[in-house]
Amino acid sequence: MTHSKNTHSTEASSKNIKPGGKSAPVEAPNFLKQIIEKDIATGKHGGQVITRFPPEPNGYLHIGHAKAICLNFGLAEEFKGRCHLRFDDTNPEVEEIEYIESIKADVKWLGFDWGTHLYYASDYFEQIYSWAQDLIRQGKAYVCSLNEEELREYRGDFTHSGKNSPYRDRSVEENLDLFARMRAGEFYEGAHTLRAKIDMASPNMNMRDPLLYRIRKTHHHRTGDKWVIYPMYDFAHPLSDAIEQITHSICTLEFQDHRPFYDWSIENCTVPAHPHQYEFARLNMTYLVMSKRKLLQLVKENFVSGWNDPRLPTISGLRRRGITSSAIKKFAHRIGVAKAESLIDYEILEACVREDLDDSAHRAMAVIRPLKVVIENLPENHREELHPSVHPKKEELGKRAIHFTKTLYIEASDFMETPDADFFRLKPGGEVRLRNAYVIKCEKVIKDTSGQVTELRCTYDPITLGGKPPADGRKIKGIIHWVSAETCVNAEVRLYGRLFKVADPDNVPEGQDFKQNLNPNSLEVIKNAKLESSLASATLEHRYQFERVGYFCLDNVDSKPGAHVFNMVVDLK
Ligand code: ATP
Ligand code: MG
């Protein structure tokens, strides 16, 4: 077997990595919930809760974003407030409509609704521009004509304080005039910037006269060619939050050092509300990369089949894989929200998926790598219909029909010619129970000229149906799955291993590439799996447990009626 899902799990042993499986807590603490409860109790923001999810439309959303979505929309839901979906589209070079559409679809699929509150930072450009003019009038912003390299040099670093720009003391009139001409397109890119006048000696680099605007002569997906200056994210973000009267602006930890400038922007512009920024630890997971930049590389360089490749941690990939939105929400609750960085074990997600699917998946039998079995003591045309349950705990889902016939398929790995002592499945002269059917005995092994086993000749014991023991009470230890060779349907089955072969793929020596850690065996395509006939009517809406194998669902791209393609969602533990 080449798919290697479990082979590397022991590498996930860094002390940072949380143990997966059933021992994981059902719901972890969320410190933001406590903050909001206190704010409501003290009447802050009039007891209102307005959050926002602010993606930049420069890629597809991933499971880290799902954590942020569940957090922002979840808090709004819980406290009867609302959550806005806002596209932070201040960087025209990398943004595309395709990403906007995919982001909307993903948020909806996760089960959240922004109602009428869909916004774009670009809708606020005029207002933000006018606040920037106000800052100039107050002497708190200036047009700086240092070029990129000089800007860097003047900024200093963590050990050296910065130097004032020689353009810092331009008059208000000159600044207003230059800023207007920047907007009018009179200057080339990089000729001028608008900067906040704060403190070049601040120990916080973000407060050393940060940029407010830069010139970019790039077409914007919404504003077209109207603007040739664009506000910096750090300036547009707090102002957008204020315009929308966000009460709790929740972002990831890397923005902690940006918070003083967030507050500065709110304090120095005449904004209609005073939102507060809170930071939480972003989601990092073993065996995955989470940065959009890296995911984009995997897509663009064809290491995967697209943004929705079932091996990717993108929401569209997880969806295509067959992971349900309820499993993702369960996962988000289970990992909780904290301030300390951590690396979450991929197995925690898998455990959530298994729990979710065990409850809902329809049962069926499917043989992934078939070995032919002929039941010698059955007549040629024998076709006995048996009726196992669709779900063992949900009788209301009814029964399915399977067929016990003279020719069957079993899993090749369920037979061993020279077995170990602890192998309880089929062996020459040995017996095994066919799940939902009879006990069979292997009478003869047929091989081809190369010595490969091609067929087993067996007999069945007619009194052993329905789990009944053989007449002499002999013990049958093994149970295996099977399908009728006469009524089964063929399908393509895609088995997935981990995308990366090491737990921390980002961790590569200087000058090396994370892509060297890709698992070359992350996808195995089985062209001719044999499925019980009930799966001929499988639908995209349902998940299926192939008994003893794992959870599967139809591929939402490549599966066609009459030519099913199944993805393995997760194996059985
Ligand atoms: P990436 O680092 O993957 O490129 P990003 O942070 O640049 O992502 P944005 O579109 O700016 O992506 O993110 C939208 C929101 O999702 C932000 O509020 C961000 O904090 C949050 N977010 C992004 N990645 C994660 C993550 N791994 N865990 C939790 N939240 C995240
Ligand atoms: Mg970002």
Among 55, 555, 38, smallest CA distance to 311 is for 555
Query: Measured in angstroms, how far is the CA atom of residue 64 from the centroid of ligand 1?
Result: 7
Q: Would you state the structure tokens that stand for residue 342, as one six-digit string? A: 């951590």
d(CA 352, CA 112): 20
Which residue bears the tokens 């992971």?
323
Q: How far apart are CA 209 and CA 205, in angstroms?
A: 9
d(CA 157, CA 297): 31
Task: Write out pLDDT tens, residues 528-570.
Answer: 999 999 999 999 999 999 999 999 999 999 999 989 999 999 9
**Catalytic site residues?**
56, 282, 292
242, 272 Cβ separation under 8 angstroms:
yes
Which residue's alpha carbon is nearest to atom 15 within ligand 1?
A: 55
Structure confidence at residue 209 as a pLDDT band (50, 70, 90): very high
- Residue 359's H or E segment, with its range, is helix 346-360
What's the pLDDT band for 340 if we cut at 50, 70, 90?
confident
Pairing label, strands 407-411, 431-434: unpaired
Average pLDDT, the chain: 93
Tokens for 425, please give them: 């499945």
What span, in angstroms and rounded, lies between the C-alpha atoms of 331 and 325?
10
Q: What angle do CA 402, 403, 406 make, to 5 degrees?
A: 155
Exposed/middle/buried for residue 10 (C-beta within 10 Å: 0-12, 13-18, 19+) = exposed
pLDDT in tens, 99-155: 999 999 999 999 999 999 999 999 999 999 999 999 999 999 999 999 999 999 999
Q: Is 107 in the pocket of ligand 1 (CB under 6 A)?
A: no
| Residue 469 DSSP class | P
- Using an 8 Å Cβ cutoff, are 462 and 431 in contact? no
Mean pLDDT within 263-285: 96
User: Nearest 5°: phi and psi at 475?
Assistant: -80, 135
Percentage of the chain exceeding pLDDT 70: 95
**Cβ 283 under 6 angstroms from ligand 1:** yes
Q: Of the ranges 91-100, 211-220, 318-327, 539-548, which one carries the lowest mean pLDDT score?
A: 91-100
Q: How confident is the model at residue 14 (pLDDT cuts 50, 70, 90)?
A: very low
Asked whether the predicted pLDDT for residue 220 surpasses 70, the reply is yes
Which pLDDT value is given to residue 26?
Answer: 62
Q: Among 282, 288, 328, 339, which is best to mutate for testing ligand 1, by the most ligand atoms less than 8 A from CB? A: 282
Please say if the pLDDT value at position 76 is more than 90.
yes
Atom of ligand 1 nearest to the CA of 295: 3
Asked whether residue 20 carries a pLDDT value surpassing 70, the answer given is no
Ligand 1 atom, smallest distance to 56 CA: 10
Does the beta carbon of 215 lie inside 6 Å of ligand 1? no
pLDDT bracket for residue 1 (50, 70, 90): very low
Judge whether residue 341 has pLDDT over 90. no
Average pLDDT over residues 199-216: 98
Alpha-carbon distance of 214 to 187, in angstroms, equals: 11
536, two tokens: 């001929």
| Ligand 1, atom nearest to 61 Cα | 10
Please say if the pLDDT value at position 21 is more than 60: no
How is residue 224 written in tokens?
């077209």
| Ligand 1 centre distance from Cα of residue 55 (Å) | 7
Of the listed ligands, the closest to the CA of 54 is: 1
Q: What is the pLDDT of residue 22?
A: 43
Report angle CA 125, 127, 130 to the nearest 5 degrees: 110
Polymer length of the chain:
573
Average pLDDT of 366-388?
A: 97
Residue nearest to ligand 1 atom 10, measured at CA:
55
CA angle 482, 486, 489 (to 5 degrees): 70
What digits encode the pLDDT tens for the residues 426-481? 999 999 999 999 999 999 999 999 999 999 999 999 999 989 999 998 999 999 99
Residues 154, 163: contact at Cβ < 8 Å?
yes
Determine the 3-state secondary structure of 501 from DSSP: coil
**53-80 mean pLDDT:** 96
Q: Is the pLDDT of residue 60 over 50?
A: yes
Q: Which ligand is nearest to the CA of 57?
A: 1
CB 351 within 8 A of CB 532: no
Instruction: Convert the pLDDT of each residue in 288-310 to its tens digit.
Output: 999 999 999 999 999 999 999 99
Backbone angles phi, psi at 359, to 5 degrees: -70, -30
Which atom number of ligand 1 is nearest to the Cα of residue 291? 3
| Residues 6 or more apart in contact with residue 177 via CB below 8 angstroms | none
The answer to whether the CB of 234 falls within 8 A of the CB of 206 is yes
- Kindly report the protein residue whose alpha carbon is nearest to atom 18 of ligand 1: 251
Specify whether the CB–CB gap between 427 and 472 falls below 8 A. Answer: no
Which residue's CA lies nearest to atom 27 of ligand 1?
A: 64
The pLDDT of residue 409 is above 90? yes
pLDDT on residue 198: 98
pLDDT-derived band at 93 (thresholds 50, 70, 90) equals confident
Q: Which residue has the higher pLDDT, 387 or 95?
A: 387
Q: Helix count (H) and strand count (E) of the chain?
A: 12, 27
pLDDT at 263 > cutoff 60 = yes
What does residue 154 show for φ and ψ, rounded to 5 degrees?
-70, -20
Token pair recorded at residue 196: 């906040």
Phi-psi label, residue 18: left if phi above 0, alpha if psi -120 to 50, beta otherwise: beta
Query: Which domains can be identified in the chain, with CATH numbers?
Result: 2-13+29-285 (3.40.50.620), 363-488 (2.40.240.10)
Which residue's CA lies nearest to atom 25 of ligand 1? Answer: 64
Helices (H), 284-335: 292-300, 315-321, 325-335
Pairing assessment for the beta strands 284-285 and 383-386 based on DSSP bridges = unpaired
